[in-house]
Amino acid sequence: MWFKKISFILFSFTFTNSIFAQTPNLKNGDLLFINVHCGPMCEAINAVTKGFEGNDFNHVGMVYSNNNQDFYVYEAISKGVVKTPLNDFLNRTDIVYKGSIKEPYEHLIPLAAQFCESQLGVPYDNDFIYDNGKYYCSELLYDAFLAANHNEAFFQLFPMTYKEPDSDQFFPVWMEHFAQQGIEIPEGKPGCNPGGMSLDEKIEMELYKF
């Protein structure tokens, strides 16, 4: 009998710990910042944008769960605005930083998530032009929190640059990209990027261990 009791206790302890081990240390509205490797375009982005503690971030998404068990990430990727299972998102990289919305602004999170949900399927913004009916990653989150905040800016827009640092020359990759898009390079137009977003004082940044 004592063996059965000990076995049950050990099983219960192991099972309970396995549940906690599978529960990510995340909450709704957390922003996940990563640096993906996509060749010259990502290298060009990293060259002119710097994030929290000098890190390179060229992609960001927002965590959300309806039941605290199944976690997803709202993000804008090449196929448009999607809701990606958390593990699929994390499998793209070895290093992730988490940006938690600070307490005074947490009430905006449900409305921001509702906005993202309503934008599922919207095309990716390959033109990188703000307010053109399409979204790149940080642009989606900018508008999500803008809508949640009664159309008052939560994050900031900055003049975008596609030029090499300390130069008047455009990166060749951007010249080729916008030529393919059939538009002028939107140099100086307002926009946002994951690095700049990671520096916002309204979020708390930390390395996310998973």
**Mean pLDDT, residues 71-90:** 97
Strands 31-34 and 59-64: antiparallel
Show the tokens assigned to 144: 């999500």
Residue 22 confidence (pLDDT)? 46
* 59-64, strands of its sheet edge to edge: 80-85, 72-77, 59-64, 31-34, 96-101, 203-208
Q: Please tell me what DSSP assigns to residue 117.
A: H
Mean pLDDT (the chain, rounded) = 90
The larger pLDDT score, comparing residue 12 to residue 179, is at 179
For residue 144, list its beta bridge partners.
none
Banded model confidence at residue 198, pLDDT cuts 50, 70, 90: very high
Does the structure show a pLDDT above 60 at 3? no
Of all helices (H) and strands (E), which one includes residue 96?
strand 96-101
**Per-position DSSP letters for 154-199, written without gaps between them:** SS--EE---BPTTSSPBPHHHHHHHHHHTS---TT-EE--HHHHHT
pLDDT tens digits along 117-160:
999 999 999 999 999 999 999 999 999 999 999 999 999 999 99
Residue 142 confidence (pLDDT)? 98
pTM, full prediction: 0.88
How far apart, in whole angstroms, are the C-alpha atoms of residue 86 and residue 70? 8
CB-based contacts of 112, cutoff 8 Å, min separation 6: 29, 62, 141, 144, 145, 147, 148
Secondary structure class of 200 (helix, strand, coil): coil
Show the tokens assigned to 184: 């002028």
With pLDDT > 90 as the criterion, what percentage of the chain qualifies? Answer: 85
Residue 68 confidence (pLDDT)? 76
